[in-house]
Amino acid sequence: MHPFSSVAVGSCATGTREPGQGRKAAALSGTPGVPQTAWPPLSRTGAAAPGPNVACMENPDPTVGPADEDHQADHDLMGVALAEAALAATAGEVPVGAVVAVGGRIVARRHNEREATGDPTAHAEVLALRDAATALGTWRLDDAVLVVTLEPCPMCAGAAWAARIGRLVWGAPNPEAGAVGSLYNLGSDPRLNHEYPATGGIRAGDCAGLLTSFFARHR
């Protein structure tokens, strides 16, 4: 069972399980005749990868995760992301909001806009990263923190990797498509040329509540 109060919906969830998910499970199962996927993945040197670099703040371990002041900053930034998510819900979008901050200063804040734009890539994280790069005049966001109300999907976790994000913070887990701890961990894969630490579960109940209430009204 997932350590957080999970919701089976997300910014890229369909509500139904796709056929490929069965093949993925089989690839991790040890079933004879099925090509197997190693987990944890091996690094480029062949060494076993370390465990996922995700601090779970709903059940915090005092030996891991950010300092107390950073945790409070994450909590405050998540409040802004939640406000963005609420705007998305009002507009009929899946309520996911994202914020990019540098040194505690917000440089970008966005929410999902897939319905409004007809753009399948218009997730809150991608839009916020684009705006942050424009505001800072560089695509490298290694001094920035990305805060998002829902654990990013593979596309958005990959966008954070491409931006060389310094740290990622997410609220509710995404058991259907999460790529920063739930299904994959693109932020902590030694085969990639950049890794970033992540903190999960910040205001998870508030973030999940927006999603469950939205889908209760729309499904």
Identify the pLDDT of residue 30: 52
Identify the pLDDT of residue 58: 54
* pTM (2 d.p.): 0.74
15 vs 37: CA distance, rounded Å: 26
Closest-CA residue to 104 (of 47, 152, 143, 157): 143
Identify the pLDDT of residue 91: 96
Question: Helix %, strand %, coil % for the chain, to 5?
Answer: 35, 15, 50
Q: What are the tokens at 14?
A: 């369909």
Q: Is 125 a catalytic residue?
A: yes
Identify the pLDDT of residue 19: 43
Q: What are the tokens at 182?
A: 């739930």
170 vs 151: CA distance, rounded Å: 5
Phi, psi of 78 (to 5 degrees): -65, -30
Find the catalytic residue in 84, 125, 151, 176.
Answer: 125
Q: pLDDT tens digits, the chain, 219 residues: what are they?
A: 333 333 433 344 434 444 444 444 444 445 555 444 444 444 443 434 444 466 666 544 333 345 567 788 999 999 999 999 999 999 999 999 999 999 999 999 999 999 999 999 999 999 999 999 999 999 999 999 999 999 999 999 999 999 999 999 999 999 999 999 999 999 999 999 999 999 999 999 999 999 999 999 987
* CA dist 103 → 29, 41, 106, 136, 195 (Å): 44, 33, 8, 13, 20
